[in-house]
């Protein structure tokens, strides 16, 4: 429908466009090879002699690719960013109950209420603890296992698969699995402690407020350190053997070798694994919901569970939206700097 | 030259931008309306997926205004059988009405809340749905989302058959909007007969909630059994136990006042009930935080636990256990201090506005309030009928006794943990308070939580 109007301007700028096309196309296809260049040749030639608007539209990579990224782009804009924006607007209303939201009076009242809500503080603190402890522990364990696997041990593939397997399980499965593991009477954790003669250390892991969050962090780490291991293993394999040999010849001990030479080169792996882990920690909703329902108690409550509880259990939509915005800001606070660093380094 | 070029470039990019935007819009429209393209069909299917979460099966089963869609959470074992018996009876009475069964199981009713709330907000409610009567209805009545059925369904004959306490719960805002279909009793103390005999405890002589504490002490001293098979994984069991302790220590009238939000004038009583709870906690199973209530109940059946405080749905488990007879192996007394109280957990059906099938819904609600429906449904569900004129032949000894207690009861107070007593937001806050109390047993904090919840 817009084609007749768009035809005129294109015809007017007939000089520049083909040059730009001809210049940019090969540059973007650095590894395209001779076949691609050859295929482009006739098109560029016709463009220079007499470019019809149709040909120009066909050539323009912007328009050519548009049908592919345009509709999904629009849908993402509408259903992701539009939904976030709408959620923010709802958080400024006082929407409760089953009526319609009142958009006429917007205020930050819900955010003020967050600041005076002790369960928000508990949930916020737990979310941060979970985030930091779970990410750090998973990275450390994953790195140690990756280094171990990198020593050309026997059954490497088997061990790697076994260790990565938990990650393929859903949170629902692992939550139920760990609720059995942690059962104070018949659970494996306490049974092992008892059989080692450490009966005094047995705990009601999932009901004692002291250990609740720690038990959850450990279970999540079990599930995701395998992922860190794979990421680190790939990073380790990318480091040339020569560096190990050089360090050995210089007389570096194993610990020194890894600490000074190898680990610093794994920064990219650490970054990408950490971002994924942080996002998983923010989304640990399923795990807690399966274990405790909407009320994990203040020692294990996290923001995503609180958001669900407030919105769907108490029908306080606006307040739930405010919690969701805090969660969104936290996620952005992690991903934003990461994307920025990547962009600065030209990796994006 | 560069300047000229730049202005040309600018003009071109602007035009290109406009043209591009136009094409994007066109492509987007084409993509959306076509529905065959990869990207757009993805978008559409995910869009309708999210809608499905809310409007469930209406899309598929929309057969005009005649089909009766019932949303409920009775999907487990005996509950499902009871619901099917109810449907069978309704189909016999109204063979012309097509019934669309739409269960929303899970989370002891929390899943159904989400489904129903979304659909009601979207203005697409089902024909009728299962809900606790009383204060649980207030989010709906506040917005006028339930049709008053005082004229159409509740005729004089039906009103006369219900006890006043139950009738009140069906009219939280002053007019009748719900039809209660069953009543469970909450203030039960179930026990394993042989365990108590071993311990030398006579449950019928236990004097008040404090007396129960002494009885549990005796059980712990005399036997290896767990004195009380309580679960603390989810907070509702503790919340309902606290309700019973408060009722037993303080009485029905203060409890009713408390439900109206006046916590401060009963500070000592509320704290005292919490203290009693904290003392009970010593006699809960070691793994109370990891088990569900029915796992705890299995210990009562196996003779590994003495007492269980639970709604009388727990009796269904005894019925299906082998060699576990009522009276000989298990029995029940009203929770100490609550004789003459029938602490009621009720389910009901309602008539939402914007009803897709008004006539069929009315027919169903009329049926749900009839003797025939309640006689079919309740024996299987393990509850008693709210109508007092239902014959008790099919109900068995235990439920017949409960029904007798019900008819002779002095009060039928509503419950907090099961929605009839307080609005959902208060119920949720109290649940959170008791989730914390289960872990910490901190009476001060729990009192503050209860005070602030109202």
pLDDT tens figures, B215-259: 899 888 888 889 999 988 888 899 999 999 999 999 889 998 888
In a domain, A132, yes or no: yes
Q: Distance between alpha carbon B275 and the CA centroid of its chain, in Å? A: 27
Please give the average per-residue pLDDT across A165-171, as a whole number.
Answer: 87
State the pTM of this model.
0.76
A240 to chain B, any CB pair closer than 8 A? The answer is no
Vertex A105: Cα angle to A103 and A108 (nearest 5): 105
Q: Do B42 and A72 touch (CB under 8 A)?
A: yes
Q: How far apart are alpha carbons A320 and A312 in whole angstroms?
A: 8
Q: For residue B75, name the pLDDT band (cuts at 50, 70, 90).
A: confident
Q: What sign does the CA torsion over A277, A283, A289, A295 have?
A: positive
Residues near B302 by beta carbon (within 8 Å), at least 6 away in sequence: none
Q: For residue B107, name the pLDDT band (cuts at 50, 70, 90).
A: low
Please write the tens of the pLDDT for every residue from A191-224.
Answer: 888 888 887 778 888 888 888 899 999 999 999 9
In a domain, B427, yes or no: yes
Whether the pLDDT of residue A2 is over 60: the answer is: no
Q: How far apart are alpha carbons B115 and B123 in whole angstroms?
A: 12
In a domain, A65, yes or no: no
Q: Are residues B194 and B288 in the same domain?
A: yes
Q: What is the pLDDT of residue A142?
A: 92
In a domain, B45, yes or no: no
A68-72 long-range contacts, CB within 8 A, separation 24+: A68/B39, A70/B23, A70/B24, A70/B27, A70/B28, A70/B31, A71/B27, A71/B28, A71/B31, A71/B32, A71/B37, A71/B39, A71/B40, A71/B43, A72/B39, A72/B42, A72/B43
Q: Distance between alpha carbon A195 and the CA centroid of its chain, in Å? A: 40
Q: Are residues B371 and B333 in the same domain?
A: no
Q: Are residues A163 and A200 in the same domain?
A: yes
Q: Which residues of A touch B9 (CB under 8 A)?
A: 16
In a domain, B172, yes or no: yes
Residues near B454 by beta carbon (within 8 Å), at least 6 away in sequence: B261, B263, B422, B426
Q: Are residues A28 and A163 in the same domain?
A: no
Please write the tens of the pLDDT for every residue from A41-100.
Answer: 444 444 455 667 777 766 777 777 888 888 999 999 999 999 999 999 999 988 888 878
* Counted domains in chain B: 2
Q: How far apart are alpha carbons B407 and B389 in whole angstroms?
A: 10
Q: Are residues B128 and B254 in the same domain?
A: no
Q: Are residues A93 and A142 in the same domain?
A: no
Q: What is the pLDDT of residue A30?
A: 43
Q: Are residues A15 and A125 in the same domain?
A: no
Q: Are residues A50 and A119 in the same domain?
A: no
The candidate with the shortest Cα–Cα distance to B399, out of B415, B419, B387, B384, is B384
Shortest alpha-carbon distance between residue A218 and chain B (Å): 17
Q: Are residues B327 and B380 in the same domain?
A: no
In a domain, A64, yes or no: no
Q: Are residues B138 and B198 in the same domain?
A: no
User: What residue numbers bound the domain in which A100 lies?
Assistant: 71-110
Q: Are residues B320 and B368 in the same domain?
A: no
For residues A78 and A295, the answer to whether their CB atoms sit within 8 Å is no
B208 to chain A, any CB pair closer than 8 A? The answer is no
Q: How far apart are alpha carbons B446 and B266 in whole angstroms?
A: 14
Q: What sign does the CA torsion over A307, A309, A311, A314 have?
A: negative
For residues B269 and B249, the answer to whether their CB atoms sit within 8 Å is yes
Q: Are residues A99 and A163 in the same domain?
A: no
Q: Are residues B293 and B436 in the same domain?
A: yes
In a domain, A334, yes or no: yes
Q: Do B23 and A294 touch (CB under 8 A)?
A: no
Q: Are residues A7 and A122 in the same domain?
A: no
Q: What is the pLDDT of residue B16?
A: 53
Q: Are residues B276 and B317 in the same domain?
A: yes
Please write the tens of the pLDDT for every residue from B405-453.
Answer: 888 888 888 899 888 888 888 988 999 899 889 888 888 889 988 988 8
In a domain, A102, yes or no: yes
Q: What is the pLDDT of residue B106?
A: 63
The candidate with the shortest Cα–Cα distance to B365, out of B152, B164, B170, B162, is B152
- Identify the CATH number of the domain in which residue B216 sits: 3.40.190.10
Shortest alpha-carbon distance between residue B220 and chain A (Å): 17
Please give the average per-residue pLDDT across A238-251, as a whole number.
Answer: 86
Please give the average per-residue pLDDT across B71-94, as a whole number.
Answer: 85
Q: Are residues A21 and A85 in the same domain?
A: no
Q: Are residues B255 and B295 in the same domain?
A: yes
Q: Are residues B259 and B288 in the same domain?
A: yes
B433 to chain A, any CB pair closer than 8 A? The answer is no
Q: Are residues B120 and B172 in the same domain?
A: yes
Whether the pLDDT of residue B120 is over 90: the answer is: no
Q: Are residues A90 and A162 in the same domain?
A: no
Q: Are residues A116 and A83 in the same domain?
A: no
In a domain, B37, yes or no: no
The answer for A 289-318 residues in CB contact with B (under 8 A) is 292-299, 309, 312-316
**β B128-131/B99-103 pair status:** unpaired
Q: Do B40 and A185 touch (CB under 8 A)?
A: no
Sheet holding B226-228, edge to edge: B226-228, B305-309, B188-192, B330-334
B428 to chain A, any CB pair closer than 8 A? The answer is yes
Q: Are residues B90 and B197 in the same domain?
A: no
Q: Are residues A216 and A261 in the same domain?
A: yes
Q: Do B428 and A314 touch (CB under 8 A)?
A: yes
Question: Any idea which residue has 């136009």 for tokens?
Answer: B22
Q: How far apart are alpha carbons A305 and A293 in whole angstroms?
A: 9
State whether residue A54 is helix, strand or coil: helix
- DSSP state at residue B25: H
Q: How far apart are alpha carbons B45 and B66 in whole angstroms?
A: 28
Question: What distance separates the 2 farthest-apart alpha carbons in chain B?
Answer: 108
User: What residue numbers bound the domain in which B225 lies?
Assistant: 188-341+423-453
Please name the member of A71, A179, A297 whose beta carbon is closest to the beta carbon of B435.
Answer: A297
* Counted domains in chain A: 3
Q: Which helix (H) or strand (E) holds B344?
A: strand B344-350
- Identify the CATH number of the domain in which residue A167 sits: 1.10.3720.10
Any idea which of A38-42, A270-274, B129-133, B383-387 has the lowest mean pLDDT?
A38-42
Q: Are residues A37 and A93 in the same domain?
A: no
Chain A interface, best mutation among B286, B291, B304, B449, by max A CB count within 10 A: B286
């Amino acid at each position: 429908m817009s084609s007749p109007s768009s035809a005129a301007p294109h015809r007017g700028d007939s000089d520049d466009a083909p040059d730009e096309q001809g210049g940019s196309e090969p540059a973007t296809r650095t590894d395209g090879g001779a076949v691609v260049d050859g295929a482009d040749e006739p098109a560029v030639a016709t463009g220079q002699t007499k470019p019809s608007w149709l040909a120009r539209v066909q050539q323009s990579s912007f328009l050519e690719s548009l049908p592919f990224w345009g509709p999904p782009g629009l849908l993402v804009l509408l259903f992701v960013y539009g939904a976030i924006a709408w959620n923010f607007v709802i958080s400024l209303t006082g929407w409760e109950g089953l009526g319609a939201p009142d958009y006429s009076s917007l205020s930050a009242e819900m955010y003020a209420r967050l600041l005076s809500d002790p369960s928000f503080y508990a949930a916020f603190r737990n979310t941060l603890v979970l985030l930091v402890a779970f990410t750090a522990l998973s990275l450390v364990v994953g790195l140690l296992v990756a280094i171990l696997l990198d020593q050309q041990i026997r059954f490497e593939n088997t061990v790697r698969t076994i260790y990565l397997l938990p990650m393929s399980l859903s949170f629902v499965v692992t939550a139920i699995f760990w609720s059995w593991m942690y059962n104070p009477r018949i659970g494996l954790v306490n049974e092992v402690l008892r059989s080692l003669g450490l009966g005094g250390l047995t705990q009601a892991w999932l009901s004692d407020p002291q250990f609740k969050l720690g038990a959850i962090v450990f279970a999540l780490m079990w599930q995701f350190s395998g992922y860190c291991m794979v990421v680190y293993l790939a990073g380790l394999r990318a480091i040339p053997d020569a560096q190990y040999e050089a360090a050995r010849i210089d007389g570096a001990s194993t610990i020194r070798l890894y600490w000074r030479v190898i680990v610093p080169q794994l920064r990219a792996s650490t970054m990408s694994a950490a971002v994924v882990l942080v996002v998983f920690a923010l989304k640990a909703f399923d795990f807690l919901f399966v274990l405790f329902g909407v009320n994990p108690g203040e020692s294990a409550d996290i923001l995503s569970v609180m958001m669900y509880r407030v919105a769907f259990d108490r029908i306080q939509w606006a307040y739930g939206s405010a919690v969701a915005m805090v969660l969104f800001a936290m996620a952005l606070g992690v991903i934003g700097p990461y994307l920025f660093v990547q962009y600065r380094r030209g990796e994006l | 030259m560069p300047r000229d070029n730049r202005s040309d470039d600018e003009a071109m990019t602007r035009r290109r931008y406009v043209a591009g935007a136009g094409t994007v819009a066109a492509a987007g429209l084409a993509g959306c309306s076509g529905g065959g393209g990869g990207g757009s069909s993805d978008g559409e299917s995910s869009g309708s997926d999210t809608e499905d979460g809310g409007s469930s099966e209406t899309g598929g089963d929309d057969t005009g205004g005649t089909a009766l869609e019932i949303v409920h959470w009775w999907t487990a074992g005996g509950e499902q059988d009871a619901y099917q018996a109810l449907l069978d009876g309704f189909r016999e009475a109204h063979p012309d009405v097509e019934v669309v069964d739409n269960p929303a199981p899970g989370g002891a009713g929390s899943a159904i809340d989400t489904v129903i709330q979304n659909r009601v907000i979207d203005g697409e409610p089902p024909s009728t749905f299962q809900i606790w009567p009383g204060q649980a209805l207030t989010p709906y009545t506040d917005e006028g989302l339930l049709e008053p059925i005082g004229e159409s369904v509740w005729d004089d004959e039906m009103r006369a058959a219900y006890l006043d306490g139950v009738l009140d719960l069906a009219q939280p805002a002053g007019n009748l909007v719900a039809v209660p279909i069953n009543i469970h009793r909450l203030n039960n103390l179930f026990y394993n007969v042989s365990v108590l005999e071993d311990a030398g405890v006579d449950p019928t002589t236990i004097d008040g909630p404090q007396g129960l504490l002494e009885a549990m002490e005796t059980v712990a001293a005399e036997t290896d059994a767990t004195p009380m098979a309580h679960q603390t994984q989810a907070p509702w069991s503790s919340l309902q136990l606290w309700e019973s302790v408060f009722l037993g220590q303080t009485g029905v009238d203060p409890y009713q006042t408390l439900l109206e939000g006046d916590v401060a004038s009963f500070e000592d009583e509320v704290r005292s009930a919490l203290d009693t709870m904290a003392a009970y906690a010593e006699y809960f199973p070691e793994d109370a935080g990891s088990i569900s209530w029915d796992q705890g109940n299995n210990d009562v059946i196996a003779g590994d636990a003495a007492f269980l405080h639970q709604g009388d749905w727990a009796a269904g488990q005894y019925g299906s256990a082998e060699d576990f007879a009522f009276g000989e192996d298990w029995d029940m007394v009203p929770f100490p201090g609550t004789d003459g109280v029938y602490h009621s957990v009720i389910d009901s059906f309602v008539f939402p506005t914007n009803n897709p099938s008004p006539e069929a819904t009315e027919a169903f609600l009329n049926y749900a309030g009839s003797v025939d429906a309640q006689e079919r449904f309740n024996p299987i569900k393990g509850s008693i009928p709210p109508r007092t004129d239902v014959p008790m032949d099919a109900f068995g000894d235990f439920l017949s006794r409960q029904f007798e207690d019900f008819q002779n009861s002095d009060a039928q107070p509503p419950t907090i943990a099961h929605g009839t007593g307080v609005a959902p937001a208060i119920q949720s806050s109290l649940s959170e308070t008791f989730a914390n109390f289960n872990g910490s047993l901190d009476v001060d904090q729990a009192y503050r939580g209860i005070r602030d919840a109202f």
